[in-house]
Structures are given as C-alpha cells and as structure tokens.
A and B are shown apart, each in its own frame.
Chain A
Amino acid sequence: MQLDKILHVEDDESIRVIVKMALVDLSGLTLVSCDGGQDALTKVDTFTPELILLDAMMPGMDGLQTLIELRKKPHCQHTPIVFMTARIQQAEKQQYLDAGAVAVIEKPFDAMSLGDRLETIYQAYLASPDSDVTE
C-alpha cells in the first residue's frame, strides 16, 4: 500500500508552506496541515491520515502531548507518527521513539526528498509487527 494521506502539525507557517509544496506539489500526496495540537485533534475527526508528521516544539500543546491526545482517538491509535525536530540530540530523539514515534526527521530537512523519506518510513512501518494496517 502506498502512502497517500498525511496530517502535518507545525506551528511555523513557513515550514507548513514548504512541507505542503514538497509533499503535495512534488510528491503528489494528500496533506492536511494543522497549526498546533489542538487544531490536529479537531481535524482528525474529519480526516483519517495514514501517517502523521508532528513538530516536536510547539507553543501550548507540544508534540509529545499531541501524540498522547491523538492516541486517545480510536482511529489514530495505530497511526504511524513521525516527529520533526530541531533538537537533534540522541537522547531527545530516543525520547520520541520511546513515546511511540516510528521515526524522527531532523530540521533542517531536505525538502526535495521529504516525500520519498516518508514513503520509506511508511513502508518500513507496514512491514513491522506494530502495524495494524491490512491491505
């Protein structure tokens, strides 16, 4: 199964624009952008993503809190979540992986290859025992 529907949560508008261009215009994926955790929780009620790209540092509800809240939604319990962070220390990365993220992408990221990277992560997720997605 190929990756198509992505939920992107990011408080920085510039990055939201660039991610949208990279994933929608370059990779032809379906993307719903949210400006924060609260926005994301609202939007998943009407949009069921196959992968969530979540910024770690956000004002108010940060990435980890958003992850916890999203997991409470029945249809998001097993959705693969990829963190995006400017805090690139190993311990911090590990913190997100421990919280249930499938991958961590460092900022700044390569916009040209972002779609391909997410596809790779998604396929790896599908192949893993954690996946509940059946074709």
Chain B
Amino acid sequence: MQTPTFPSNEPSRLNALQQTGLLDTQPEQRFDRLTHLAQLCLGTDIVLVSLVDGDRQWFKSKQGLDVCETGRDISFCGHTILGEGIFEVADAQLDNRFADNPLVLNAPFIRFYAGVPLVSNGENIGTLCFIDSKPRQFTDKERQIATEIGKTIEQEIQDRLQEHAHEQLAAREEMYRSVLEGTRIGTWQWNIQTGETVLNERWAEIMGYTLAELEPITIDTWLSMLHPDDLADSDAKLEDHLKGKTPFFNDKCRMKHKQGHYVWVHDQGKVISYTADGQPLMMFGTHADITQQKLSEIALQQSRDQLYKLTQQLPGVVYQYQSWPDGRSAFPYASTAIKDIYGVTPEEVRTDATNAFEKIHPDDLGLLVSSIQRSIEDLSLWEIEYRVSSDNNAFKWLSGSATPERMEDGSTLWHGYIQDITETKKHYLQLEELNQQLNVAQQSLDLASEQAQIGYWQASLKLGTLWWSPIIYQIFGLDEQDIDPSISFFKSALHPDDIDIVEKSEQQARITGIHNVIHRIIRPNGEVRWVHELGQLVSEDQNPDLVMIGSVQDITDRMKLQKVKDDFISTVSHELRTPLTSINGALNLLQSGKIITLPEKAQKLMDIASSNCMQLSRLINDLLDIDKLAAGKMQFEMKKLNIVPLLQRAIDDHQPYAQQHNITLALQMDEQLHQSALYVDEHRLLQILTNFLSNAVKFSPKEGCVTLSATVIDNDIEIAVQDHGSGIPDDFKSRIFEKFSQADASSSKAKGGTGLGLALCKELTAAMQGNIGYESEFGSGARFYVRLPIAK
C-alpha cells in the first residue's frame, strides 16, 4: 500500500483549511444537497466532501457512508490533493498503491475511486470524492459533471465564509450599538466642508431635546449650546486637531441644557477622511454626559481645598508616610507645615523620605526606626517623641502619632500628625525637675516627720474626709493598708473622756482658725497614747469645704514626764502654800488687833511681814501660771462675755488697794461697747487687768488718777490702763515683757512686784488671740493695753 505523501505546501494548505471554518461542524444542507445531486447524477455508492486534515480526512458531507472520518494514511483523498485534476482509480484491487488498503480489503470495499480537488485560497483543502464497490471508469461527461459539482462546492465554501463574515460584522455592529446605548454616549458626524452635521438621539437627549426638536442640525447647533467661557478653549482644541497637531479632538466643556442649566460633556472625535486636496472632510465623534463625574471632581477639589485650609491652621504636619519592604520610604502626602517640622517641602519628600530622616537627632534615630519597624510588624499605633535639628544648631522636640495600614503591594501606609512640642517639653522637663525637688523635699519632710514622730493631716470638717501621712498610722497603731481614715474613724479612736475637748477645739477653730488640743487616743490593742494636735482652718467664705490642715505628734513620753513634773510642782506648791497659809493667817489675825493689841513698832513689823507674805504667795501663783503656759497645759474657758460688767468688776476689786495708795480709779467706755462682747476666758482677762491696774496704782504719784478705758478699734476692743507715773525708762522698753524683768532692780522690793506679771499677761493675751502693748514717754506716765477680737 502506498501512503499518501505530504505536499510541500502542507502548512499553508492546513492554514487554508482552518480558515474555512468547516472542520468538525454540523452537516449542512447546502453541501448535502450537492453531494446527493452528485450521487444521483453519477450513480456511485458513496459521495463525500472530504477535508484532508493533518492526520485524518474528515467528511463535511457524506452520502452512502456512516463514518465521519478515517486516517489520512489510508486515504485515497490524500493522493488526490497532491495533484490538480481528477484523481481516478478504476479498480483498486488491481492497483498496487491500494490493493492491500484496509478500505479496499474491508468495508466499504472500495474498488472505484474518483476525487476532484477542492480549492480554497489557492490550496487543495480536500476533495469531492466518488466511491463504488464495483470497478468502473468515468466518462468524460461524467468527469465534467464531477468537476462542475466540485466547483459548486468550492463556491458554497466561499459563500459560507462570506455569510459568516457578514454575520460577525452584524453582531459586532449590534455590540457597538449596545455599548453606545449602555454607556449612554451620544455620537456625531460632521462634514467639515459642508457643515452638515448628524447627531444621534442620545446626543440630543443629553441636552434635554429630541432630535426632531433640534432640526435643522448644523455645527451651529453645537456651538450655540456651548458655555461662553468654554468656547475659546474648545475652539482652540478643535483647530489643533484639524491642523493635525493632536491625534484626537478631546474636550471637556459645559453645554446649555434645554432646561437652562449647564451640563458637563466630554467630546472626543477624529477626522476620518480628507478631500483630494488634503483638507479634512469627515469627522466622527462621541458626546458623553460627565456632569456627575465633573461634580465629583469639583467636590473632591473642594474637599482638597478644605483639607489644605485646615492643615494650614494646624501647628503641626498632617501627613501620610509610606514604607516599602525594599527599604524605600516616602511622604505621599504632607501638609506644608512639614517645612517647619523637617525643613523640607512636601514635594521634596513625596517620593523619597531621606531628606526628612537626615534631620533626626542621631541619638533618637535608632529609637525612631525601631518604633516604625514595630508598627509595621504588628500594625500598632505609632507614637513617639523625638528630636530633629532646627536652625542654629538647636534641636526641636517633636511628638508623632500615626495609624498604619497595610497596602496591597506589601508596603505600609501611615496616616498621622507630627507637632512641635519643644515648649511643652521644656515645661515638662522643668516640671519634672521641680517634681524631683518636691520629692526630695517630701522625703526630707517624711524623714523629719518620722524622726520627730510628727504626722500631718488634712480634713474636711464639712465632708468628713480625712487624709493622714504615714506616721499618723504608726501613732494610731494601725496598718496603712487596712484603714481608710475619715473624721468619724478618727473620733472612734479618741479616748472617751477627751471627745469633748477635741470637739470643743474644733468649734473654737471655726471662730479663731486655730485648732490646738492635747488629747488621748486608744490604739486597737488598747494602749492609750497622748497626742498633740495643731491645725489651721481658713474661714468658711474662702474655704467652703472647711478644709483644716494640721499636724499630730505623739507626746506620750512627754506627757509622762509632764505628769512627773506636774506632780512635783503640785506637791511643791502645796508644801509651800501650807506653811504660807499658816503664816498668812497668823499675821492676818495679829494685824486685825481683834485677838491682841500690838505696840506700834510691832504693828509696823507685822505689816512688813504681811506684805512679804502676800508677795511670796503671788510669786508662787505666777510661777505656776508661767509654767502651765509654757507647757501648753493652761486650759482656757473661752466664753462670749459682755465687757461692761467685767471692767466694772476690775475697778471694784482694785478700789481698796487704790484707796490704800490714795489713788483714784476711773472708768471710761465707748457707748457702743454695751452691745459688744469678747470671746475670752474671764478669769484670765481679769488676771491681765489686775496686773495692769496694780502696776498703775503702784507707779502712780500720791493722789494720782488711774483710768481704765475701753474702745472699739476695727474688729477689736482695746482695753487700756493709763497712769501718770514716771513712765517707762527707754533702756527697759525692750525687756518689759520678759520674765523677771524690773525697771529698777530695787523697785521690786520697793513696789512689791515679782517681775513675772507682764510676761504672764503677754502669754495670756496671745493664748486668747489678742495683742498686748504699751505707750509711754519717760516722765509722763504709761498706757498699757490689750486688743482682743470682738466676738461675732
């Protein structure tokens, strides 16, 4: 068997076959009708339109055969396509090329074969072949018929191709039409030479019209709708295109809508033909409504403008910073303030941030880079304070904060804000230094407080809140962790017998501003401790919560010593007074002359003894008072007192003593004093007045006058005693209120003073929130006074 060879033009032949688009398609009547006609005309068993493919022959149309393809190697048609005319085999059994061909030996048992080559695009793409199971030979007539039918089939193949091309064209046009409809784009055609213009319905619709309404349509239809402000620009663009300067006409402009408003349109077009002398002839183009897009652009621009204005108002820089895995970084956006921060313009760092990084303080660069790295890794908020160099070798402190976002390309984009905090930082550093100093001071205070066992506290008498320093917890035998102190808790720790005096002192503090009390507390283990509390309260109008601040000191040891001392003093005073009582009593009785009448000289001696006995008694009393004052143990019974009866009593008490010295006592008072009261300890105020009066009587000349007066001065009452004695010597004035001071060392003996009286008066006055003083010119008497606050 002879296998058909491949022709030398096999690739182009196969290409021509492919282009027919026939392979593996459905049977078609146009071919089947012709093969059937051929079968009828030429009377063969089988007629086929066989297309010779690379390794097979495939039958587009077949009559008398069921299979649709066979191998090319056993095909007869493979031989036919090698030549130009009909290839005929009269009896295959007798032909060496085919005698052992399976198609000969088996079904369809070919004996006769005739093939007419089918040509398309100049290549033999296949055959119209005739097959019979009996030997045979075509007549010339039959050959002519076969050839004609072959040509008819070739024509059908060409017609079929054209039909397909036409269909594709129609489909494409349909597609373009759909696209135009779908995108709502208008179209136009313009004959530049005649001015004739064709628009589509959509063009008119964009402008609010129907095409009919726009008739007659010329280029002026378009020009008349153009916004006057856009006319020049559109014209220039058209001119440029018509002159060939631009490949397309491309213009965005405003055109007037039928309803009077303007719509934004995008016109694009191109000259597609020219006249014989090279003038542009026809121009086609599109016309799209871009109002929405344009409005969005305008809105975008407006928000950009707003952003710009806003960022201009900010002291720092608003920015986007982007970092790529390959190490590049940039500021895609930065407000103009970046110039103040990094000394670079937004443009200088838009694609490369290196310029900005060069400004960072070398000591902070490492920290900054690692903070950025950390933010990249876990997309955490980037926050850091760092320094950058500024002018004249100084550094600025910056505070940055930005939120990262991972981009599709693997880069990280931060949106953030950096501001100059140099001033704040400076203040912060100063504050930190002050804080450190404060800490040192606080530590010193704590140390001192611990050493001295003095705690300090702050309490609100109105809110009942209380704060204690650590020492107070120790004093109260408590653990700081276990107790949240309050005023009620403090009261619960008071010794029951001392609650009254503490509350009394608090009440007094509301008037005088001073809280000063010694009392006992009971620790949780039952131990009793003595404490001294000293507090200060600003008046309620300036201190609405009645906050009192103060100290507390554990004085248990001191109180123990005090008690020893008190017992001693008590004993001594008792031991001194008891014999004094006897001496005084005995002298009284003798002096009275009622028990026994004494001779004149003895009487004089009795007077001396009696006077010295009284002085000794006063000395003991004054000493005890001074001691009590110094120890803070003197208790004052402060009461609101009307001053008038008090002064009267002072005068009455001293009348006998004054008479004894031939001195007149006078009382002078402001009228308004009848309505005034003092807040004092009556007994102690009398003690002061007694001192003043007895001194005045003592130092007055015979038959002199001593005046007790009281006057209101501002918020005080001044009580004064005026004498007309010799006054106070200048060199004594500085020591007058000191203990054991006497103007003249001999005067204490002459006038019978202890030298403690005025010192005691000063202490007593101070304890009652008053002032003491005197006015005197040597030789013209003295005036001693106390000023005490008027009780409200």
Chain A residues with a Cβ under 8 A of chain B: 12, 14-15, 17-19, 21-22, 25-26, 57, 86-91, 107-112
Contact = CB atoms under 8 A, between A and B. Distances in A.
A18 B574 contact: no
B582 A112 contact: no
Interface of B: 570, 573-574, 576-586, 588-589, 592, 594-595, 613, 617, 621, 624, 628, 635, 637, 683
B595 A25 contact: yes
Nearest to B616: A108
Contacts of B573: 86-88
Contacts of A14: 579, 582, 585-586
The 9 A-B residue pairs with the shortest CB-CB distance in the complex, in nearest-first order: A18-B585, A86-B577, A14-B582, A111-B588, A108-B584, A111-B585, A107-B581, A108-B581, A86-B574
B589 A86 contact: no
B633 to A, nearest CB: 9
A12 B628 CA distance: 28
A107 B577 contact: yes
Contacts of B589: 18, 21-22, 25-26, 111-112
A114 to B, nearest CB: 8
Contact of A108 (B570, B577, B592, B628): B577
A57 B575 CA distance: 10
Contacts of B586: 14, 18, 111
Contacts of B578: 12, 15, 86, 107
21 contacts: A12-B582, A14-B585, A14-B586, A26-B589, A26-B592, A57-B574, A86-B573, A86-B576, A86-B578, A87-B573, A90-B635, A91-B635, A107-B580, A107-B581, A108-B581, A109-B581, A109-B584, A110-B584, A111-B588, A112-B589, A112-B592
Nearest to A14: B582
B588 A110 contact: yes
A86 B621 contact: no
B758 to A, nearest CB: 21
B617 A108 contact: yes
Most buried by B among A17, A89, A91: A89
Contacts of B595: 21, 25-26
B46 to A, nearest CB: 152
B116 to A, nearest CB: 154
Contacts of A109: 581, 584-585
Contacts of A12: 578, 581-582
A122 to B, nearest CB: 20
B333 to A, nearest CB: 85
Contacts of A90: 635, 637, 683
Given A88-B621, A112-B592, A15 B574 contact: no
A91 B634 CA distance: 10
Contacts of A112: 588-589, 592
Nearest to A86: B577
A63 to B, nearest CB: 12
A86 B569 CA distance: 11
Contacts of A22: 585, 588-589
A82 to B, nearest CB: 15
Contact of A26 (B579, B584, B594, B617): B594
Contacts of B592: 26, 112
Contacts of B635: 90-91
Nearest to A85: B574
Contact of A111 (B577, B584, B617, B637): B584
B686 to A, nearest CB: 13
A124 to B, nearest CB: 18
B574 A108 contact: no
A112 B586 CA distance: 10
B606 to A, nearest CB: 13
Contacts of A110: 584, 588
Nearest to A26: B594
A43 to B, nearest CB: 22
Nearest to B621: A88
A11 B175 CA distance: 142
Most buried by A among B574, B584, B588, B637: B588
A56 B521 CA distance: 30
Nearest to B574: A86
A9 B270 CA distance: 144
A17 B579 CA distance: 13
Contacts of A15: 578, 581-582, 585
Most buried by B among A12, A87, A90, A108: A108
A15 B589 CA distance: 12
A110 B610 CA distance: 11
Contacts of B588: 22, 110-112
Given A12-B578, A86-B574, A86-B578, A108 B594 contact: no
B452 to A, nearest CB: 28
A89 B624 CA distance: 9
Nearest to B613: A108
Nearest to B594: A26
A88 B622 CA distance: 12
A57 B570 CA distance: 11
A84 B562 CA distance: 25
Contacts of A91: 635
A67 B163 CA distance: 149
B653 to A, nearest CB: 14
Contact of B574 (A21, A25, A26, A87): A87
